[in-house]
Amino acid sequence: MQGLTSVQGVLVLVLIAVIAMAGVIYLALSSSTTRRLVISTTTSLYDTGVLDAVGAKFWQQQKIDVSFISAGTGLAIQYAQRGDSDVILVHAPSKELPFLQNGDGVNRKIIAYNFFIIVGPMDDAAKVRGLSPLEALKKIKQAGGAGVILWISRGDDSGTHTKEKALWKAAGIDVAMIRGESWYLEAGAGMGKTLQVADEKRAYTLSDTGTYLKYLKDGLISLQELVTQGKELLNVYSVIAVNPSQHPDANFQGAMKFIQFLVSQDGQDLIGGYGQEDYEQPLFYPAVRLLQENTNPELLSWIRSYAYFDGSECPPQYRYQEGALYEED
């Protein structure tokens, strides 16, 4: 080492050794840890906090770190289609089927359900309390046209927005027409924000049960549950892995471990128990046992009618290296 003193030479050698050792440690750690798993998900799951509990338990069992991208179902699917996520957690069967058909997703599993509700101000100027969902929407349209009430739509291509549009259609009401009327407003936001806008304006809106209960409990809204009955309000949550054949960079191994966790007894118990203590009822109901054992035939028939494709939660052509995931079929 010409030009260096002996002390400087020793220091240089020590520095080189430290850098080399750091590289070895980095490579060892890199090879022994699993890649982070990215999950794009509906806001109704994220806003309730259940995904924090899911992520913590999954880390405890698998040592796989999870990142959640909270968006409406439409955006969650777009993230996956761009290769920005490895898994989607969504609740809009009409959007999930094209995702599978286009080759973007595989190995769909239904993991949970609850019900949508129509909420509004305590005085209920539209007089919809206790009505069926479709009759309620007809009365809301009448009251809105008369200048009596406001309706706040998510307006964000989410699972809840998709359900809302389907309900208006089933009630014989043209959504494209009412979007131009002054009583029909679009928040263009997630469920929590939409509830807060509706609360501020003393308006009606459609919400999933979980987000509504959390925001009510936290004192963020004072809206009342007005319409809660009917199979039309069924809300089904599914998990789908991004297809590695279409998206080679997807963390398929991690995705499958995550799906297997969600459908395991631990995962289902976590989903079913979340919120029980704080809200005196579950925010979400586990679906796996119901689908396997037919413990509630009427409810199962509703789920099959609403969320099955060709008689299956995931037809065989949309499965890939699924292992024993569908052994109960």
Sequential pLDDT tens for the chain (329 residues): 445 455 444 444 444 444 444 443 333 333 334 689 999 999 888 889 999 999 999 999 999 999 999 988 999 999 999 999 999 999 999 999 999 999 999 999 999 999 999 999 999 999 999 999 999 999 999 999 999 999 999 999 899 999 999 999 999 999 999 999 999 999 999 999 999 999 999 999 999 999 999 999 999 999 999 999 789 999 999 999 999 999 999 999 999 999 999 999 999 999 999 988 888 888 999 999 999 998 899 999 999 999 999 999 999 999 999 999 998 76
Q: Does residue 222 sit in the same domain as residue 243?
A: no
- Domain range for 229 is 115-233
Within a domain: residue 193? yes
What Å distances lie between residue 112 and 5, 90, 104, 221, 269, CA to CA?
Answer: 70, 10, 22, 25, 11
Q: Does residue 247 sit in the same domain as residue 305?
A: yes
Q: Does residue 69 sit in the same domain as residue 207?
A: no
Q: Does residue 59 sit in the same domain as residue 189?
A: no
Q: Does residue 226 sit in the same domain as residue 241?
A: no
Domain boundary among 176, 204, 233: 233
Q: Does residue 249 sit in the same domain as residue 291?
A: yes
Q: Does residue 149 sit in the same domain as residue 225?
A: yes
Please name the amino acid found at residue 270: L
Please name the amino acid found at residue 230: G
What Å distances lie between residue 185 and 138, 220, 247, 266, 288, CA to CA?
Answer: 17, 20, 38, 41, 37
- The answer to whether 59 and 65 have CB atoms below 8 angstroms apart is yes
Say how many domains are in the chain: 2
Q: What CATH number is associated with residue 71? A: 3.40.190.10
* pTM of the complete model: 0.86
Q: Does residue 197 sit in the same domain as residue 87?
A: no
Could you give the CA distance from residue 14 to residue 12 in angstroms, rounded to a whole number?
Answer: 5
> What pLDDT, on the 0 to 100 scale, is given for residue 90?
96
Within a domain: residue 29? no
Q: Does residue 62 sit in the same domain as residue 165?
A: no
Q: Which two tokens stand for residue 71?
A: 């968006």
Around Cβ 198, how many Cβ atoms within 10 Å?
25
Q: Does residue 175 sit in the same domain as residue 195?
A: yes
Domain boundary among 183, 201, 233: 233
Q: Does residue 261 sit in the same domain as residue 192?
A: no
Could you give the CA distance from residue 194 to residue 161 in angstroms, rounded to a whole number?
Answer: 11
Q: Which two tokens stand for residue 239?
A: 């998990």
Residue 38, C-beta contacts closer than 8 angstroms, at least 6 positions apart: 66, 67, 69, 84, 85, 86, 87, 251
Q: Which two tokens stand for residue 20?
A: 């080399």
> What pLDDT, on the 0 to 100 scale, is given for residue 179?
94
Q: Does residue 60 sit in the same domain as residue 103?
A: yes
What Å distances lie between residue 1 and 7, 10, 21, 329, CA to CA?
Answer: 11, 10, 22, 72
Helix locations, 106-179, DSSP H: 133-145, 159-170, 175-178
Around Cβ 72, how many Cβ atoms within 10 Å?
29
Query: Which is nearest to 223 in space by CA: 203, 209, 241?
Result: 203
Domain boundary among 195, 216, 233: 233
Please name the amino acid found at residue 100: L
Within a domain: residue 268? yes
**Bridge pairing between strands 184-186 and 224-227:** unpaired
Burial 110-146 (b: 16+ CB within 10 A, else e): bbbbbbbbbbbbeeeebbbeebebbebbbebbebbee
Within a domain: residue 18? no
Q: Which two tokens stand for residue 258?
A: 């995550």
Could you give the CA distance from residue 185 to residue 208 in angstroms, rounded to a whole number?
Answer: 18
User: First and final CA of the chain: distance in angstroms?
Assistant: 72
Around Cβ 105, how many Cβ atoms within 10 Å?
30
Within a domain: residue 307? yes
Within a domain: residue 250? yes
- The answer to whether 237 and 90 have CB atoms below 8 angstroms apart is yes
Within a domain: residue 16? no
- The answer to whether 309 and 119 have CB atoms below 8 angstroms apart is no
Within a domain: residue 12? no
